[in-house]
């Protein structure tokens, strides 16, 4: 319904705030998101002829757009990797796997970029997000079913039981 009502950046920019809020009310912080959507779309219309830019340098200055969102847009819309998406799942897993000791998204991203070939940045983001949602959640990681349990030092996790297959190589996540 949202994209049937608003088809272009200009449509979103001109949307009455209350109407847009009603469409996205089921999301968290819907008022802030509606304000950011309208502001971003106004900037897209005014500065980019209504088109979504294809570089991190052009995306990050847009209202409501940070490195994480910019990296998502570049990876999904353009299949371009200028960085690694670091959300709550990527942050948690990077620490549990011992890939970083950093706490801020930007520093975690820098650590991951140093150890991962650029050609793998987009896939790494998607795989870590999937793994964090489906297997290694914040409160009860499913270590027994974990595809990479034999590689995981379980940093910051209460000791999880390991299955007998933990000595076998992990199944491919592809």
Per-domain boundaries in the chain? 2-51, 88-167
Mean pLDDT over all residues of the chain?
92
> Active-site positions?
68, 87
What is the pLDDT at residue 49? Answer: 98
Q: Is the pTM of this model over 0.95?
A: no
Cβ-defined contacts of 138-143 (< 8 Å, 24+): 138/88, 138/92, 141/96
Show the beta-strand stretches assigned E in the chain. none
The radius of gyration of the chain's CA atoms, rounded to the nearest angstrom, is 19
* Chain segment 115-127, per-residue pLDDT in tens: 999 999 999 999 9
**What is the fold, at CATH topology level, of the domain defined by 2-51?**
Endonuclease III; domain 1 (1.10.340)
Q: What does the pLDDT look like over 8-48, one tens digit per residue?
A: 999 999 999 999 999 999 999 999 999 999 999 999 999 99
pLDDT(173) > 80: no
Q: How do the residues of the chain divide into helix, strand and coil, expressed in percent and rounded to 5?
A: 55, 0, 45
Q: Rounded to an integer, what distance in angstroms lies between the CA atom of residue 63 and that of residue 42? A: 9
Per-residue pLDDT tens for 67-126? 999 999 999 999 999 999 999 999 999 999 999 999 999 999 999 999 999 999 999 999
Distances (CA, A) of 99 to 67, 95, 104, 154: 20, 6, 13, 11
CATH code of the region 88-167: 1.10.1670.10
């Amino acid at each position: 319904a949202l994209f049937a009502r608003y088809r272009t950046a200009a449509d979103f920019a001109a949307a009455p705030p209350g109407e847009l809020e009603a469409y996205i009310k089921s999301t968290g912080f819907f008022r802030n998101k509606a304000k950011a959507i309208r502001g971003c779309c106004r900037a897209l219309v005014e500065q980019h002829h209504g088109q979504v830019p294809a570089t991190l340098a052009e995306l990050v200055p847009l209202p409501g757009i940070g490195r994480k969102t910019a990296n998502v847009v570049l990876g999904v819309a353009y299949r371009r990797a200028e960085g690694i998406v670091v959300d709550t799942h990527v942050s948690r897993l990077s620490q549990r796997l011992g890939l970083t000791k950093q706490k801020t998204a930007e520093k975690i991203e820098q650590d991951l970029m140093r150890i991962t070939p650029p050609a793998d940045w987009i896939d790494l983001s998607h795989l870590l997000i999937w793994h964090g949602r489906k297997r290694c959640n914040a409160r009860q990681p499913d270590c027994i079913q974990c595809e990479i349990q034999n590689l995981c030092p379980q940093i910051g996790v209460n000791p999880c039981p390991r299955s007998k297959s933990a000595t076998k190589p992990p199944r491919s996540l592809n």
